[in-house]
Amino acid sequence: MTAIEDYFKAERSESVMFILVGLVAIGLSVYFLIKFDHPFYTGLAYPLILVALIQLTVGTTVYLRSPKDLQRVTSFVEQEEGKIESAEIPRMKEVMKNFAYYRYFEIFLLVVGIILTLVFTKENIWMGVGIGLTAQSVFMLVLDYFAEQRGKVYLEFLQQL
């Protein structure tokens, strides 16, 4: 049972990271928009805010859902073991498939951010957007990498039950 608990506790901990980084990104964005009257900082603020809204939404959703998921899967193991095969394993396979889509999208944003940063060499709005996209994409890629690795271990555990 500890593998299930470990998975959902780690999922919840990572969701707190998403929430904290989202809040910091919004705070920085507001600071940049208020403090600096410069297109570079405006451009930097836009992707920070937009991706932060995604981070806050995902982080909050996972944080609130994880205890219920833990309880649901624990009840499957204790009372309805067949549900692991019919419900939880298919759910996790879908989650794992979605990680690939997230990764492609995050790499796309990273490439766009790098291109904008390299093409616009003066501190203008597009360079700011590029740096903001690059920073947020790297963060999302790193967190999703660890989440995907954790998901692989959890799915393997479920398949061995």
Extents of the domains making up the chain: 2-160
d(CA 93, CA 99): 10
A 10 A CB-CB count for 155 gives 18
Task: Determine contact, residues 6/153, Cβ cutoff 8 Å.
Answer: no
Q: What is the pLDDT of residue 2?
A: 87
- CB neighbourhood size of 100 (10 A): 10
Say what the pLDDT of residue 1 is: 62
User: DSSP letters of 95-124?
Assistant: HHHHHHHHHHHHHHHHHHHHHHHHH--SSS
Per-residue pLDDT of the chain (161 residues; tens, 9 = 90+): 688 999 999 999 999 999 999 999 999 999 999 999 999 999 999 999 999 999 999 999 999 999 999 999 999 989 988 899 999 999 999 999 999 999 999 999 999 999 999 999 899 999 999 999 999 999 999 999 999 999 999 999 999 98
Tell me, what amino acid is at 70? Answer: L
Distance, in Å, from the CA atom of 55 to the CA atom of 60, rounded to the nearest integer, reads 8
Distance separating alpha carbons of residues 40 and 22, to the nearest angstrom: 20
pTM, two decimal places: 0.88
* pLDDT of 81: 84
| Coil, strand or helix at 1 | coil
DSSP percent split of the chain into helix, strand, coil, nearest 5: 95, 0, 5
